[in-house]
Amino acid sequence: MEPFRIKAVEPIPFPTPDQRRTALANAGYNLFRVPARAITIDLLTDSGTNAMSAAQWSALLSGDESYAGATSFERFEAVVRHLTGYDEVIPVHQGRAAERILLGSLLRPGDISVSNTHFDTTRASVAATGATAIDLPVDTSTSTSFGGDIDLDALHALLDGQDGAHVRCVVLTVTNNAGGGQPVSMANVAGARALCNAFDVPLLLDASRFAENAYLITERDPDHAHYSPREVAHLTFSLADGCWASLKKDGVGNIGGMIALRDAELARRCRDQLIAVEGFPTYGGLAGRDLDALAQGLQEVTDPAYLRYRAQSTRWFGEQLLDAGLPVLLPTGCHAVYVDAAALLPHVPTHQLPATALANELYLAGAVRVSELGTLVFGRRDPGGGPDLPAPRELVRLALPRRVYTKSHLEYVVEVAAGVVAKAAEIPGYRIVEQADTLRHFSAVLAPALTPVA
């Protein structure tokens, strides 16, 4: 059960079927464009959607809003240093600002960043520097417990091959959000560390879900079963040279991010950029009160009782959806349940966006909002003007905001999903009408596919 009780509540909307159809059409069939007032259960993201604790709300009141040298920063810095062991702590307003600043300080045109999987915003930040992002996820058919691992053999081959000299950083995204929310094992972090030592390349963590990764290691790796999640997090950070994080996830905040590094010279370059785009280094685009709430959140998030509930409730939700007939990816991680839309909708071809089709149908059926992690997000536009190059998988993600929804909310989602499964064969595909050059899924305008689905 939830290891907390609820002190403040917020009503949720119940739009009618007609209102849902209108809202989706007005939004260009893109759930990012649907207003929150037309959503009943919002599983779009676990990012910034967390419910803060009473201790976090009270920490807000001790916020020091001094422009420079605020005590809120000192408290935040102390918590991050203690957690990560990195001396250089730089707050930013959210994860992508951290990526833009850190990768912008590290990468030059022609460089390579290699990762288990770059998240979409990370990939965009790599591309903005003129460098190339290469993903080397482990083959999940051979590794089910730690499906977030990087393929160490492929990493070795890359570092040792003709492109090796261009590799400027190795990035481990923990947990691997774009790769099904699966954890990265301690052995894999250690293996990547050894390769980075051998080839003199820095190892960085995208630590946005560091606590969930640490908990899943204690659950799935008998060698770490007796460690606390915080001890595992310490060990993970100790093997890397630095990290960035969106603190809208395991910071249990509504806004915030950070860069934390060992390398003082790299940190100096990051701070130079930070001042130009985010703000003075002791607030980095945040209010002092945000830093206090995040400092408290970063301490709460490794509570074993909270993490056990988080992992168990997500597993329960995944099992229920599976029983309802959705092809759920197993094992589930902590922050989301991922569904293979291509398996449910084999009649929708990739270029008609099966993951978008499933996501939109869940909205139409019950005002449940989820996100597509398929060709709309990860597909590549064909430079020759042909059909998009498809994403490796057509996933739909049902992300779970931290401490927000109860079991009965999730039971409602399961009922809605069962209804969608029952009419899966009739679900139409979509086509893209308008799109931006990067991160198109946030703003694209879509329409139901013109051609009847074969």
Ligand X SMILES: Cc1ncc(COP(=O)(O)O)c(C=O)c1O
- Least distance (Å) from ligand X to the CB of residue 247? 8
For 107, 115, 210, 212, the CA distances from 260, given in Å and listed in that order, are 17, 18, 13, 19
The Cβ of residue 222 has, within 10 Å, a number of other Cβ atoms equal to 8
Stretch that binds ligand X, among 119-127, 235-243, 267-275, 379-387 (CB under 6 A): 119-127
* 257 is an interface residue for ligand X by CB under 6 A: yes
Write out the binding residues for ligand X, residues 9-68 only, by CB under 6 A. 47
Stretch that binds ligand X, among 115-123, 183-191, 234-242, 420-428 (CB under 6 A): 115-123
| C-alpha to C-alpha distance for 176 and 66, rounded to whole angstroms | 37
What sign for the dihedral angle of Cα 70, 83, 86, 216? negative
Q: Exactly one of 73, 76, 86, 119 binds ligand X (CB under 6 A); which one?
A: 119
Nearer to ligand X, 243 or 324 (CB): 243
Q: Are strands 430-434 and 368-369 parallel, antiparallel or unpaired?
A: unpaired
For 2, 150, 216, 413, 414, the CA distances from 407, given in Å and listed in that order, are 9, 34, 21, 10, 10
* 116 is an interface residue for ligand X by CB under 6 A: no
Stretch that binds ligand X, among 92-100, 104-112, 282-290, 297-305 (CB under 6 A): 92-100
Q: Exactly one of 173, 282, 320, 356 binds ligand X (CB under 6 A); which one?
A: 173
184: Cβ–Cβ under 8 A, 6 or more apart, which residues? 116, 146, 148, 149, 150, 172, 173, 174, 175, 176, 213
- Specify whether the CB–CB gap between 398 and 317 falls below 8 A: yes
| C-alpha to C-alpha distance for 44 and 34, rounded to whole angstroms | 11
Nearer to ligand X, 173 or 332 (CB): 173
Q: Are strands 167-173 and 112-115 parallel, antiparallel or unpaired?
A: parallel
How many residues bind ligand X (CB under 6 A)? The answer is 14
Nearer to ligand X, 159 or 243 (CB): 243
Q: Exactly one of 40, 121, 185, 352 binds ligand X (CB under 6 A); which one?
A: 121
Stretch that binds ligand X, among 25-33, 89-97, 341-349, 417-425 (CB under 6 A): 89-97
Q: Exactly one of 123, 248, 402, 403 binds ligand X (CB under 6 A); which one?
A: 248
| C-alpha to C-alpha distance for 95 and 92, rounded to whole angstroms | 7
- Least distance (Å) from ligand X to the CB of residue 99? 6
Nearer to ligand X, 248 or 289 (CB): 248
- Specify whether the CB–CB gap between 121 and 101 falls below 8 A: no
Q: Which residue is nearest to ligand X (CB)?
A: 95
Nearer to ligand X, 121 or 132 (CB): 121
Stretch that binds ligand X, among 93-101, 124-132, 264-272, 290-298 (CB under 6 A): 93-101
| Number of residues that this document lists for the chain | 454
- Least distance (Å) from ligand X to the CB of residue 248? 5
Nearer to ligand X, 95 or 366 (CB): 95
Nearer to ligand X, 75 or 397 (CB): 397
Main-chain dihedrals φ then ψ at residue 81, nearest 5 degrees: -60, -45
Helices (H), 244-386: 264-277, 288-300, 304-323, 341-344, 354-366, 375-378
Write out the binding residues for ligand X, residues 193-222 only, by CB under 6 A. 206, 208
Which one-letter DSSP state was computed for residue 390? P
Stretch that binds ligand X, among 94-102, 156-164, 376-384, 431-439 (CB under 6 A): 94-102
367: Cβ–Cβ under 8 A, 6 or more apart, which residues? 13, 14, 15, 20, 38, 39, 40, 41
* 177 is an interface residue for ligand X by CB under 6 A: yes
- Specify whether the CB–CB gap between 178 and 212 falls below 8 A: no
Nearer to ligand X, 213 or 296 (CB): 213
Interacting residue ranges for ligand X, rule: CB under 6 A: 47, 94-96, 119, 121-122, 173, 177, 206, 208, 246, 248, 257
